[in-house]
């Protein structure tokens, strides 16, 4: 089968969406299919330019015949799923959240934008037309399915997949640092983790890895660490090679990931594979589908004091960190997360 994976790319930003598309393409090829990633550039600012990108996607003709035929389109996220094709399946990473759950939030891009309300309605109207065109709609997680049902009244099926390089992630010792592995972005809440570190009663160390979406935010979080007087208790490693990332997972005491309403979150799955407890928050979304409070990790209120309490517990009790981490690895295997079912659904 010839399969086109339809997505969009924000220039100079690389995250889970890009890794998912590459992993899916590799798995399709390994299964004997011809697969290509069809990517269009996307810029969400100023708000009125979003309509241009929507129109561009709608005008992409993937329904070629003959030598250029495409048997199946798998569309991943807004506005790529607007691309028409008679045999399209949507595997939804997320909609344009500024038009939905982030409307009115400080993280929402449309709320204060000129013409933002009009653009919000344009996006919602287009979604209600284009998404039901697909023969099937799958989503990244139950969290994404819930949003789609709540805001658009469209039913879908969650479809979990392994993180990239899952087979190379191994467990190790329970070391002398907590690991926060995520790109620097306000929605990932590095600032909350730093505030929590300032509230700890023990000399907890926090290691951050991941590139910054913007230089401004990178400077903001580093200034916060300095202002809080955290000194040598915080390490910034930036974007690291995959082998280094795996080694840091293997040697961590536990993993910290407290985002706002995450769609899925590779971090939680990577922590499980590395045999590490995950510290997350009650409003973190996707990770809550995997972590079990007090059994495979710790789920906190999204406050510095609550996170600090979790940090102190794990720092004071390495045996607790090890017990939770081993249970997390067992849970990952019990869930049977794998690519075989993903391909079966997306190609069926």
Q: Please give the chain's pLDDT, 348 residues, in tens.
A: 999 999 999 888 888 889 999 999 999 999 999 999 999 999 888 998 999 999 999 999 887 666 678 999 999 999 999 999 999 999 999 999 999 999 999 989 999 999 999 999 999 999 999 999 999 999 999 999 999 999 999 999 999 999 999 999 999 999 999 999 999 999 999 999 999 999 999 999 999 999 998 899 999 999 999 999 998 899 999 999 999 999 999 999 999 999 999 999 999 999 999 999 999 999 999 999 999 999 999 999 999 999 999 999 999 999 999 999 999 999 999 999 999 999 999 999
Task: Give residue 65's pLDDT.
Answer: 67
**Domains and their CATH numbers in the chain:** 2-159 (3.40.50.2000), 168-335 (3.40.50.2000)
Rounded CA separation 15/20 (Å): 9
CB proximity list for 334: less than 8 A, separation 6 or greater: none
Task: Give residue 211's pLDDT.
Answer: 93
Rounded CA separation 149/138 (Å): 12
């Amino acid at each position: 089968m010839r399969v086109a994976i339809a997505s969009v790319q924000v220039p100079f930003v690389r995250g889970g969406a890009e890794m998912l598309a590459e992993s899916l393409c590799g798995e399709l090829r390994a299964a004997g299919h011809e697969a290509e990633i069809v990517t269009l550039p996307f810029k969400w600012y100023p708000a009125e330019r979003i309509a241009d990108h929507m129109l561009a996607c709608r005008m992409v003709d993937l329904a070629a015949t003959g030598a250029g035929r495409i048997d199946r389109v798998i569309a991943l996220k807004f506005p790529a799923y607007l691309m028409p094709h008679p045999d399209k399946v949507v595997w939804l990473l997320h909609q344009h959240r500024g038009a939905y759950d982030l409307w009115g939030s400080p993280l929402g891009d449309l709320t204060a934008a000129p013409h933002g309300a009009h653009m919000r309605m344009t996006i919602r109207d287009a979604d209600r037309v284009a998404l039901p065109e697909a023969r099937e709609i799958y989503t990244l997680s139950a969290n994404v399915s819930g949003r789609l049902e709540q805001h658009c009244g469209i039913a879908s099926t969650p479809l979990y997949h392994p993180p990239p390089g899952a087979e190379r992630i191994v467990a190790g010792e329970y070391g002398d640092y907590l690991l926060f592995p995520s790109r620097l972005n306000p929605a990932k809440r590095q600032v909350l983790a730093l505030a929590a570190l300032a509230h700890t009663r023990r000399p907890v160390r926090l290691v951050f890895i991941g590139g910054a979406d913007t230089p401004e935010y990178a400077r903001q979080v580093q200034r916060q660490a300095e202002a809080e007087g955290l000194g040598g208790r915080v390490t910034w490693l930036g974007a690291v090679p995959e082998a280094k990332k795996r080694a840091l997972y293997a040697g961590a005491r536990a993993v910290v990931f407290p985002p706002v309403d995450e769609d899925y979150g590779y971090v939680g799955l990577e922590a499980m594979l590395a045999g590490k407890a995950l510290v997350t928050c009650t409003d973190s979304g996707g990770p809550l589908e995997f972590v079990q409070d007090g059994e495979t990790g710790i789920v906190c209120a999204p406050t510095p004091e609550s996170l600090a309490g979790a940090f102190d517990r794990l720092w004071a009790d390495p045996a607790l960190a090890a017990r939770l981490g081993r249970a997390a690895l067992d849970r990952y295997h019990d869930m049977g997360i794998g690519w075989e079912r993903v391909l079966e659904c997306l190609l069926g």
